Chains A and B, each alone.
Chain A
């Protein structure tokens, strides 16, 4: 799909097509039109799509990344084979990405929807609540990592309240490889929940109020109305939230990188890509293969999103 759209756009944008429905373009207009579309498209294709395709190609090669391009050797599927069999960080990374997705899908996203449901009732203090839940979205993930470090550090808030901040015996929330991923998931949800809530709130505001009224006259409970009337009418928003949830779970990088560079229980696919390119041993092929695996996983939500947004126009 990638290559077909790229080439399609590339070939069509060059020639500003036969005019239709009364567009009578002068020569200048044609040049301007070509520039208006061609310039931005060229920049986007050169800096996004061509690199993306190159990465996929590189995943089938061996390259240390230091030598010139002539140092690149064909590897076939060797990189993938090695990643699946001997790369020790791969399994924990996949497990953590799946865990991330599961946690977002089963806990964080539903919680965001429930919060939106109550905020939508416009109870007392709704402005204050909204502000509180939106606030984490404004912070960068790098700052988010630092902010939560004060809560979960060995001598941070949680341990102080629990009464043990001794470096030897206190719980190390970020250091314990069995606990740290859960802490990271709580922190990531802190941000994600507000975002889901915002999207859902906007969607619910757009629901026809007469739907509510009709259901109320029929004597339906609020929860029943939400489940049977509101939720199904929010299909577009639901799709967007699914896409956001999946894409964000796959892209995760900043937070764990800030905490411990994604090691010791915090491995993620996004970090492994980075490690193989900038780490001690540069294995571009492995990095590229990992990025390609990430891409293959992202295709599903991307296609779902494109289908949802563009189906009406076809």
Chain B
């Protein structure tokens, strides 16, 4: 009985400590939200740590309309959504072949993809930069006629890098699905394409959903490649465009807070609505930062 009591006390202490940690963890986000709701004048008058005398959505309005953050939000989705769909499509094809047919190169191929995903991006981007500057694209994609400074280029590099992770996760997932399901399809004499498209792809749906949620967040959040591969300000996704709200001499920090909130709101919504997929996506592969 004594032990039961002490563990109860121990648990209460643990809960209290966890609670303090959790509050500290959420505080910066809460604080940014609060700043975004206060007018600049209010903070100027009373200081940033003060009772808010005015709370309104005015900063959001300014950020969205006047600073055109809505455009950058759309840019973000224009990159993230095609990139994720293409990645999932290509990765599922490779995963299908390596997990359903026993070719000699299967493991080497998986290792190539997995290692490629773990390389530091800095190692890749000098030649990519040169390659993009010298790759011709039709004028309707880019007025300059090259792949550099296009969203297509950004999408391609995201696909190439994320594919490693996605292939690895999907092939692991497929290995847990009994091969008998495939075999019955083969007995029916289905072609390879039909085997992939009709049998395997529907089986992959839960894993594709988890990966899709996770990779949308990653690509949406990317900063490095957007800054490196896009020079026109108006093409940049919102993570890279936030600097537009920071003036050279003067920054309205309450407006910036609203911009930052707008930038993370979509991922926050995704997290709260599709949390299960997000978490399982991360643990499916158990790698990648």
Contact = CB atoms under 8 A, between A and B. Distances in A.
A100 interface: no
A161 interface: yes
A123 B25 contact: no
Given A157-B31, A199-B282, A310-B107, A305 B97 contact: no
Nearest to B114: A306
A124 B267 CA distance: 27
B15 A36 contact: no
Contacts of A147: 28-29, 31-32, 260
Contacts of A153: 253
A141 B98 CA distance: 34
A37 B109 contact: yes
B116 A44 contact: yes
Nearest to B103: A17
Interface string B127-139: 1111100000000
A54 B227 CA distance: 21
Contacts of B72: none
Interface size class of B (residues with CB under 8 A): 35 or more
Interface stretch (B53-61, B63-71, B158-166, B204-212): B158-166
Contacts of A232: none
By DSSP majority rule, is chain A's interface helix, strand, loop, or mixed? Answer: helix
A270 interface: yes
B286 interface: yes
B22 to A, nearest CB: 4
Contact of B282 (A16, A198, A248): A198
Interface string A5-22: 110110011001100110
Nearest to B128: A51
Nearest to B50: A160
A172 interface: no
A21 B104 CA distance: 13
A125 B115 contact: no
B81 interface: no
Given A244-B289, A287-B126, A13 B167 contact: no
A217 interface: no
Interface in A256-314: 257-258, 269-270, 273-274, 277-278, 284, 287-288, 290-292, 294-295, 298, 301-302, 305-306, 309-310, 313-314
Interface in A153-186: 153, 155-157, 160-161, 165
A125 B18 contact: yes
B199 interface: no
A135 B130 CA distance: 37
B35 interface: yes
A92 B191 CA distance: 59
A291 B120 contact: yes
Contact of A5 (B108, B131, B242, B268): B108
Contacts of B98: 37
Contacts of A6: 112
B2 interface: no
Contact of A51 (B11, B91, B127, B164): B127
Contact of B253 (A39, A150, A313): A150
Nearest to A118: B14
A251 interface: yes
A116 B33 CA distance: 28
B94 A41 contact: yes
A146 B107 CA distance: 42
Given A139-B267, A248-B289, A294 B122 contact: yes
B203 interface: no
B287 A243 contact: yes
A305 B118 contact: yes
| Top 3 A-B pairs, shortest CB-CB distance | A140-B221, A47-B160, A132-B22
Interface of B: 11, 14-15, 17-19, 21-23, 25-29, 31-32, 35, 47-49, 90-91, 93-94, 96-98, 101-105, 107-116, 118-131, 156-157, 159-161, 163-164, 167-168, 191-193, 196, 217, 220-224, 227-228, 239-240, 242, 253, 256-257, 260, 263-264, 267-268, 270-271, 275, 278-279, 282-283, 286-289
